[in-house]
Amino acid sequence: MIKHTLRAGRRAVSPGLRCFSETSGGGVSEDGLERTSSPPLTKQASLYVHWPYCLRRCSYCNFNKYIPRENNDPVMTECLQRETETLLQLSQVSCITSVFFGGGTPSLAHPSTIAAVLQTVSRRAYLSDEAEITLEVNPTPVGKSKLEDFCRAGVNRFSIGVQSLQDEDLKSLGRDHSSHQALQAVEEARRLCPGRVSVDVMFGRPKQSVASWEKELSELLRVCDDHVSLYQLTLERGTQLFKQVLGGGVTVPGEDVMAEMYRCARRTLHQDGLLQYEVSNFARHQAVSHHNTGYWKGRQYIGVGPGAHGRFVPLGEGGVLREARTQTLDPDAWIREVQQRGHGTRRRIQLSHLELLEEVLVMGMRMTDGINHKHWEMFSPQLGLREVFGTTSDVQELLQSGHLILDDRGLRCSWDGLVLLDSILPALLVELERQISPRLQIDHHGDGQTKSQTSSPP
Amino acid sequence: MSLCLVKRWCETPLMRRVLQFKVYRRKIQSDNNRTYTLLRHRWMKRLPVFCSGFRMASTQTHKDTIDLSKFPVDRIRNFCIIAHIDHGKSTLADRLLEMTGAIAKTENNKQVLDKLQVERERGITVKAQTASLIYRHQGEQYLLNLIDTPGHVDFSYEVSRSISACQGVLLIVDANQGIQAQTVANFYLAFEAQLAIIPVINKIDLKNADPERVELQIEKVFDIPREECIRISAKLGTNVEAVLQAVVYRVPAPLASIDDPFKALVFDSNFDHYRGVVANIAVFGGRVRKGDRIVSAHLGKSYEVNELGLLRPDEHPTQKLFAGQVGYIIAGMKDVKEAQIGDTLYLQEQPVEALPGFKPAKAMVFAGMFPMDQSDYPGLRSAIDRLTLNDSSVTVQRDSSMALGAGWRLGFLGLLHMEVFNQRLEQEYNASVIVTAPTVPYKAVLSSAKLIKEHGSEEITIVNPAQFPDRSVVSEYLEPMVLGTILSPDSYTGKIMALCLNRRGIQKNMVYIDDQRVMMKYLFPLNEIVVDFYDLLKSMSSGYASFDYENAGYQAADLIKMNILLNGQPVEELITIVHRARAYSQGKAMCERLKDSIPRQMFEVAVQAAIGSKVIARETIKAFRKNVLAKCYGGDITRKMKLLKKQAEGKKKMRRIGNVEVPKDAFINVLKRKIK
């Protein structure tokens, strides 16, 4: 079964009901967290749980995954629980807003593992019945047969790695399911979690044409639920596909073709009511992924499992700055560390004020709504969006060319601008640094200001 | 033919340069003689500048003194070795040094006189070295002064000065390769100086050696009877003794009298941080001793002689130097410019007429040099200062470019000179530099009275293309010309003639030097051969053609200034002076190179070459249609941030021309020489 998908999975989503929540899709309002008396950023977090194992390697995937030599599920389960406990304790968060099981192939895990982790979370923090609990699924017959048990274990949203509806492509990408099996898995997932199933699709695959992509998309639209994630296939160093392309044995569509595929997908999905809310994510009936939205809004998250990343303030040990944390990559080493000291955190980097704002900017701009003033103010109470970006000529040019919008709502890309986000961000980052760094310096050299004031003759 | 050449030689300045890039590299064996390795190290550590290390060490070790008065003029021979690159000049020098006991005979004497790292690596001689050999023949002791010359006509000024200190030359020709372009150039240098020429055919041990054919070539091209050729293998030492005997018999003793007032020619100089300038001199008359006050004819400054002696090849101090002898002198000069090659020294109380032919070296190829990073500016400056301390022929002017920052425009004798300078900068001073494409000094004859007054002369030299005066104020532009010599197997003549034609070459002459090899003479604009001509010539002839050139004055030329535009905005640092006939191909090439090195932007970028307001070439950099990372979630942030921060940093360093952001690399790619 191999699971799908490229990197860590976390994607997909759609709100909706789930086994124990009866809520309708609109139950969780998008800005709910900000609107409701916004608890301090450090009081809550989302949780990402990484299941590192796959049955085989997909030719395009460079993510942290391992082909297990033996079944050590019980040990893995125990360690995931243990690390969850440790990190929850360290972060001192009182509420976990969402949980995402990614991988690897988390649908290979036993449903009881999922249940155990969720129980651990509930013991240590508040986990609402309505909280979004997503599991990445590899749409094999086995994967499909376990969906119901996963729901019982607490999962209320599935992200299904369909990737392609062309069996030939699935084969060449190293996937271990057919398109028919994938569609069956989607159907089953929709039966279990209506309105809360996401499908992942990849474009820019070897030999793919714009026409065949369009056809595939319309087929997909017939079967998908309320959430779609579309990814342009990215060649990653070290993958088999990378070598094949480098060696000339395989060709992927050129830049212009890729751009055309993306453009046409955006349009087609939009026409079907699947509104784009992030570069690669589209939702109908507001069925956005709350978990992923948390990343783009710069909220705290705790990463558990081999190679998982986290961003939170370790209040439990008196920390005041947010840290970028990475867990040990190799599962065996990670297991040893968790067994020895309760967690497998390998790297901790404190984020400075500027670095935090940089992340907020880079992640926030990926959303079609961009960054609103209130959102920015939570991280930068002193310096508003207009003050940071409103004056410089570089940004002015982007505003004038229509790529960027800065208005009463906030800062965001236009429809055309979003496609070029990575060309826009460097200019914004340069400006952010220019505005933030000198202020930090001036704060340290307050006398400099006084001097200039007194020196001006009355 | 030779007459016409000699005539031309006399008309043109005493400068010839050969474009002779080393293609073959000699392997330097790591098991070098230990003593030498050691000395070298010591010297490199202690002296930032070369050329004196061996001497320093040797002054401490030599105990015996040589009584130079034992060598009257008739027992002195001054000679040099000239050869095409890799024909075995340095190897023969090694053998001569060994046979006369100047250095110990070991397996490891390899290019003992080539002291610079670049010399050994490239198998070329850059800096002339000198060694006095004591040779015993038929009961008499002779003082044979071997003046090793630079192997390249870029350094032909040095060659010509070295030659003027000699009465004879060994003209070495490879028994396999035969006469090459540089052999011809060197021959005429010696011939014009009326030296005794001893043809030596080297490498007779090679399997494909064909000494008979080479002798016939020598007879045909140089008009030297084939019987006069000496066949040797310098590598094996075969018949080298005959060379020493020939030097004694065929090279005349110097015409110098000990009774004349002291008069010496400076034919080389080095800089030593501890002792100042070390000048190599040939004594043309009288004697000089420690404590004498001497005067440099060129500057008129006087100095006291602190030290003098022989070079064997290490410095070997003596009390005096006598007429006819060759040695070194240290006299408190602080700058190599005080001991310029070709200058005359005399005693303060006995002024003499300066020796003829002195001309300061003239730069013929210019290139901008900029530090890779502006913070390296001071370091690079001191590295350039130190190197030029030892090489007075490099001219240095400060320059600055909006794209590359502050730097220098350096003038070199020729391309190899420039390349060697660069390599030394990198190797010896560990300085990493951006070198712009070489340009040549153009001239303009001004027609505007106002400008003439401003410049103080009617004719001005233009080194920096940005200062190219407008056609409207100029009556004529002039470009430097060279006379090129090409030798090649005749099977390549067609291709070579096409290449020369394409480079605006005018054929002056074509001669078969034997039944297979052709010698061609072409008049070229220097600009046309300065960048890639030699590489092309070599590749189209499978490496068999050789090329050499000498300066041939200036000629009127239809020159124009070409601008490069990015979305209509001119780029100052890319202004180029071109011949009208070549504008399109050069403009096209520059646009293509720029296109390849400017990253795609959010909008389309037009890269154009223009003459005045007329666009003659265009490339288009298409706009990005999509540039956004597909997946970006919690785990991907760090990597993504790193990438973006790098781009943001790069953005700060970009040069903005109009609305186009141009990375520094793009300028470098367009401006720097192509390295093959």
ipTM attached to this prediction: 0.84
**Residue from the list B624, B631, B650 with its beta carbon closest to the beta carbon of A280:** B631
B631 and A48 in contact by Cβ < 8 A? Answer: no
* Interhelix angle A73-91/A331-341, nearest 10 degrees: 60
A429 and B625 in contact by Cβ < 8 A? Answer: no
pLDDT above 50: residue B106: yes
Is residue B73 within 8 Å of residue B258, measured between CB atoms?
yes
pLDDT above 80: residue A319: yes
B230 versus B59: which is more confidently predicted? B230
The CA-atom distances, in angstroms, between B90 and each of A278, B109, B206 are 71, 10, 17
pLDDT value for B264 = 93
Q: Which of A217-226, B51-60, B625-634 has the lowest mean pLDDT?
A: B51-60
Among A206, A209, A201, smallest CA distance to A243 is for A206
Average pLDDT over residues B231-253: 94
DSSP state of A433: H
Is residue B367 within 8 Å of residue B413, measured between CB atoms?
no
Measure B627 CA to nearest chain A CA, in Å.
5
The one-letter amino acid code at A157 reads R
Residue of A nearest to B635 (CA): A309
B638 and A10 in contact by Cβ < 8 A? Answer: no
Contact residues, chain B to chain A, C-beta under 8 Å: 601-603, 624-638, 640-641, 644-645, 647-648, 650-652, 659
**Residue from the list A255, A301, A355 with its beta carbon closest to the beta carbon of B625:** A255
Q: How confident is the model at residue A421 (pLDDT cuts 50, 70, 90)?
A: very high
* Interhelix angle B181-192/B211-222, nearest 10 degrees: 50
A324 and B637 in contact by Cβ < 8 A? Answer: yes
Four-residue CA torsion sign, B559, B580, B572, B672? negative
Q: Which of B155-159, B163-167, B209-213, B396-400 has the lowest mean pLDDT?
A: B155-159
**A-B C-beta contacts closer than 8 Å:** 116
Measure B279 CA to nearest chain A CA, in Å.
56
Pull the structure tokens for residue B540.
Answer: 């189209």
A295 and B637 in contact by Cβ < 8 A? Answer: yes
Contacts of A295 in chain B (CB under 8 A): 632-634, 637
pLDDT value for A447 = 37
**Residue from the list B624, B631, B659 with its beta carbon closest to the beta carbon of A231:** B631
Contacts of B635 in chain A (CB under 8 A): 7-8, 10, 48, 303, 307-309
Interface test with B, best of A230, A423, A430, A431 (most B CBs within 10 A): A423
Average pLDDT over residues B351-356: 84
Binding residues of B: 83-90, 148-152, 202-205
Residue of B nearest to A311 (CA): B634
pLDDT above 50: residue B20: no
pLDDT value for B36 = 26
B635 and A256 in contact by Cβ < 8 A? Answer: no
| Tens-place pLDDT, residues A5-24 | 333 333 333 333 333 333 33
B636 and A7 in contact by Cβ < 8 A? Answer: yes
Measure B59 CA to nearest chain A CA, in Å.
60
Q: How confident is the model at residue A258 (pLDDT cuts 50, 70, 90)?
A: very high
Q: Give me the half-sphere count of Cα atoms (radius 13 Å) on the Cβ side of residue B395.
A: 17
Q: How confident is the model at residue B202 (pLDDT cuts 50, 70, 90)?
A: very high
B648 and A234 in contact by Cβ < 8 A? Answer: no
Q: Which of A73-87, A278-292, A332-346, B356-370 has the lowest mean pLDDT?
A: B356-370
Is residue A126 within 8 Å of residue A317, measured between CB atoms?
no
Average pLDDT over residues A119-123: 97
pLDDT above 80: residue B117: no
pLDDT value for A29 = 40
A369 versus B90: which is more confidently predicted? A369
B650 and A426 in contact by Cβ < 8 A? Answer: yes
B634 and A303 in contact by Cβ < 8 A? Answer: yes
Contacts of B638 in chain A (CB under 8 A): 309, 324, 326
Contacts of B648 by beta carbon, 8 Å cutoff, 6+ apart: A425, A426, A427, A429, A430, A433
The CA-atom distances, in angstroms, between B622 and each of A234, A418, B243, B590, B596 are 21, 18, 68, 17, 11
Contacts of A426 in chain B (CB under 8 A): 644, 647-648, 650-651
**Residue from the list A6, A324, A426 with its beta carbon closest to the beta carbon of B644:** A426
Q: Which of A420-424, B257-261, B425-429 has the lowest mean pLDDT?
A: B425-429
pLDDT value for B119 = 56
Distance between CA A42 and CA A310 in Å, rounded? 13
Contacts of A234 in chain B (CB under 8 A): 629-631
Among B640, B633, B637, B627, smallest CA distance to A159 is for B633
Interface test with A, best of B620, B633, B644 (most A CBs within 10 A): B633
- H/E run at residue B395: strand B395-401
Q: How confident is the model at residue B614 (pLDDT cuts 50, 70, 90)?
A: very high
Measure A190 CA to nearest chain B CA, in Å.
24
Binding residues of B for GTP: 83-90, 148-152, 202-205
Greatest mean pLDDT among B420-434, B472-486, B645-659 lies in B472-486
Contacts of A366 in chain B (CB under 8 A): 628, 632
pLDDT value for B156 = 62
B602 and A429 in contact by Cβ < 8 A? Answer: no
Average pLDDT over residues A287-304: 97
Interface test with A, best of B621, B626, B644, B653 (most A CBs within 10 A): B626
Is residue B178 within 8 Å of residue B88, measured between CB atoms?
no
* Interhelix angle A353-364/A421-444, nearest 10 degrees: 160
| Tens-place pLDDT, residues B654-671 | 778 888 888 877 877 776
A454 by DSSP, 3-state: which?
helix
Greatest mean pLDDT among B63-77, B105-119, B197-211 lies in B197-211
Distance between CA A383 and CA A353 in Å, rounded? 12
Contacts of A10 in chain B (CB under 8 A): 633-635
Distance between CA B279 and CA B303 in Å, rounded? 12
pLDDT value for A59 = 85
| Tens-place pLDDT, residues B531-550 | 778 878 888 888 888 888 88
pLDDT above 90: residue B241: yes
Q: Which of A221-225, A426-430, B40-44, B86-90 has the lowest mean pLDDT?
A: B40-44
Measure B606 CA to nearest chain A CA, in Å.
18
Residue of B nearest to A200 (CA): B631
Contacts of A267 in chain B (CB under 8 A): none
Distance between CA B462 and CA B469 in Å, rounded? 9
Q: How confident is the model at residue B65 (pLDDT cuts 50, 70, 90)?
A: low
Question: Could you tell me how many residues make up chain B?
Answer: 676
Interface test with B, best of A362, A418, A428 (most B CBs within 10 A): A362
B56 versus B89: which is more confidently predicted? B89
The whole-chain average pLDDT of chain A stands at 87
Burial A224-243 (b: 16+ CB within 10 A, else e): bbbbbbbbbbbbeeebebbe
The one-letter amino acid code at A90 reads L
Measure B13 CA to nearest chain A CA, in Å.
56
**Residue from the list A8, A260, A362 with its beta carbon closest to the beta carbon of B635:** A8
Interface test with A, best of B628, B656, B661 (most A CBs within 10 A): B628
pLDDT value for B336 = 75
pLDDT value for A304 = 98
- H/E run at residue B425: helix B415-429
pLDDT above 70: residue B155: no
Interface test with B, best of A304, A420, A431, A433 (most B CBs within 10 A): A420
Q: Where are the beta strands (DSSP E) in B31-128?
A: 76-83
pLDDT above 80: residue A112: yes
Average pLDDT over residues A158-165: 96
Pairing, β B569-570 against β B576-579: unpaired
